[in-house]
Amino acid sequence: MRIAILKKDKCQPRKCTSECIKYCPMVQTGAETVVVGSDGKPVISEDLCEGCGICIKKCPFSAISIIGLPEELKGEETHRYGENGFVLYGMPIPRAGKISGLLGENGIGKSTAIKILAGLQVPNLGNVTAEVSWYEIIKRYSGSELQNYFDRLSKGKIRVAYKPQYVDAIPKFFDGTTYELLESTDETGESKRLIKAFELEEAMKTDIKALSGGELQRVAIIACMIRDADFYFLDEITPYLDIYQRMQVAKGIRNVLEGKAVVVVEHDLAILDMLADYVHLLYGEPGGYGVVTLPKSTNRGINEYLSGFLQAENVRIRDKPIEFSAHPPRERQEERNVFIEYDGFEKRYGEDGFLLEAKPGSIALGEVLGIVGRNAIGKSTFVKVLAGETEPTAGSKALTGLAGKPLQGLRGGRGGAPTWGRAPQSFDITLSYKPQYIKGELDMKVKDFIYSLNGGLREADVIDVLHPLGIPEIEEKSLKELSGGELQSVAIAACLCQDASLYMLDEPSAHLDVEQKVRLIKTLRRYAERREVSMMIVDHDIYLIDLLSDRLMVFNGEPGVRGEIKGSFGMREGMNLFLKELGVTFRRDESTLRPRINKIGSAKDREQKEKGQYYYL
Positions touching ligand ADP (CB under 6 A) are 81, 85-86, 104, 106-112, 286-287, 349, 353-354, 375-381, 560
Least distance in Å: CB of 289 to ligand ADP?
9
**Euclidean distance between CA atoms 549 and 540, whole angstroms:** 13
Q: How many helices (H) and strands (E) does the chain have?
A: 22, 30
Least distance in Å: CB of 358 to Mg ion?
39
**Euclidean distance between CA atoms 596 and 543, whole angstroms:** 10
Least distance in Å: CB of 112 to Mg ion?
8
Q: Is residue 238 close enough to count as binding Mg ion by CB under 5 A?
A: no
| Comparison of 403 and 520: residue with beta carbon closer to ligand ADP | 520
Least distance in Å: CB of 567 to ligand ADP?
17
Helix (H/G/I), strand (E/B), else coil: 131? coil
**Euclidean distance between CA atoms 261 and 277, whole angstroms:** 11
Least distance in Å: CB of 108 to ligand ADP?
4
Helix (H/G/I), strand (E/B), else coil: 47? coil
| Comparison of 86 and 543: residue with beta carbon closer to ligand ADP | 86
560 contacts which partner out of Mg ion, ligand ADP, none, CB within 5 to 8 A by kind? ligand ADP
Least distance in Å: CB of 246 to Mg ion?
18
Q: Is residue 217 close enough to count as binding Mg ion by CB under 5 A?
A: no
Segment contacting Mg ion by CB under 5 A, of 108-116, 295-303, 312-320, 585-593:
108-116
353 contacts which partner out of Mg ion, ligand ADP, none, CB within 5 to 8 A by kind? ligand ADP
**Euclidean distance between CA atoms 235 and 114, whole angstroms:** 8
Least distance in Å: CB of 264 to Mg ion?
12
Segment contacting Mg ion by CB under 5 A, of 23-31, 164-172, 196-204, 390-398:
164-172
Least distance in Å: CB of 114 to Mg ion?
8
Residue 610 amino acid letter: E
3-state secondary structure 589-606: CCCCCCEEECCCCCHHHH
Residue 598 amino acid letter: N
Distances (CA, A) of 613 to 432, 542, 552, 576: 35, 16, 16, 7
349 contacts which partner out of ligand ADP, Mg ion, none, CB within 5 to 8 A by kind? ligand ADP
* Position among 100, 111, 293, 516 found at the interface with Mg ion (CB under 5 A): 111
13 contacts which partner out of ligand ADP, Mg ion, none, CB within 5 to 8 A by kind? none
| Comparison of 404 and 560: residue with beta carbon closer to ligand ADP | 560
Q: Are 218 and 241 in contact (CB under 8 A)?
A: yes
Q: Which helix (H) or strand (E) holds 78?
A: strand 77-80
Least distance in Å: CB of 165 to ligand ADP?
7
Q: Which helix (H) or strand (E) holds 255?
A: helix 243-256
Residue 482: name the closest of 514, 434, 515, 450 by CA.
450
Give φ, ψ of 520 to 5 degrees: -65, -45
61 contacts which partner out of Mg ion, ligand ADP, none, CB within 5 to 8 A by kind? none
305 contacts which partner out of Mg ion, ligand ADP, none, CB within 5 to 8 A by kind? none
* Residue 424 DSSP one-character state: P
Percent helix, strand, coil in the chain, to 5, is: 35, 25, 45
Q: What angle do CA 104, 105, 106 make, to 5 degrees?
A: 125
Give φ, ψ of 427 to 5 degrees: -150, 165
Distances (CA, A) of 491 to 140, 369, 435, 446, 465: 43, 20, 9, 10, 11
| Comparison of 238 and 380: residue with beta carbon closer to ligand ADP | 380
| Comparison of 202 and 323: residue with beta carbon closer to ligand ADP | 202
**Euclidean distance between CA atoms 299 and 318, whole angstroms:** 18
* Residue 441 DSSP one-character state: -
191 contacts which partner out of Mg ion, ligand ADP, none, CB within 5 to 8 A by kind? none
484 contacts which partner out of Mg ion, ligand ADP, none, CB within 5 to 8 A by kind? none
90 contacts which partner out of ligand ADP, Mg ion, none, CB within 5 to 8 A by kind? none
**Euclidean distance between CA atoms 214 and 240, whole angstroms:** 5
Q: Which helix (H) or strand (E) holds 531?
A: helix 514-531
Least distance in Å: CB of 559 to ligand ADP?
7
81 contacts which partner out of Mg ion, ligand ADP, none, CB within 5 to 8 A by kind? ligand ADP
| Comparison of 380 and 488: residue with beta carbon closer to ligand ADP | 380
Least distance in Å: CB of 162 to ligand ADP?
13
| Comparison of 165 and 375: residue with beta carbon closer to Mg ion | 165
* Residue 81 DSSP one-character state: -
| Comparison of 190 and 486: residue with beta carbon closer to Mg ion | 486
| Comparison of 462 and 482: residue with beta carbon closer to ligand ADP | 482
240 contacts which partner out of Mg ion, ligand ADP, none, CB within 5 to 8 A by kind? none
Least distance in Å: CB of 155 to ligand ADP?
25
| Comparison of 381 and 613: residue with beta carbon closer to ligand ADP | 381
Phi-psi region of 493 (alpha: psi -120 to 50; beta: other; left: phi over 0): alpha
| Comparison of 10 and 551: residue with beta carbon closer to ligand ADP | 10
| Comparison of 461 and 486: residue with beta carbon closer to ligand ADP | 486
Residue 180: burial class (beta carbons within 10 Å; 0-12, 13-18, 19+)? middle
Residues that bind Mg ion (CB under 5 A): 110-111, 165
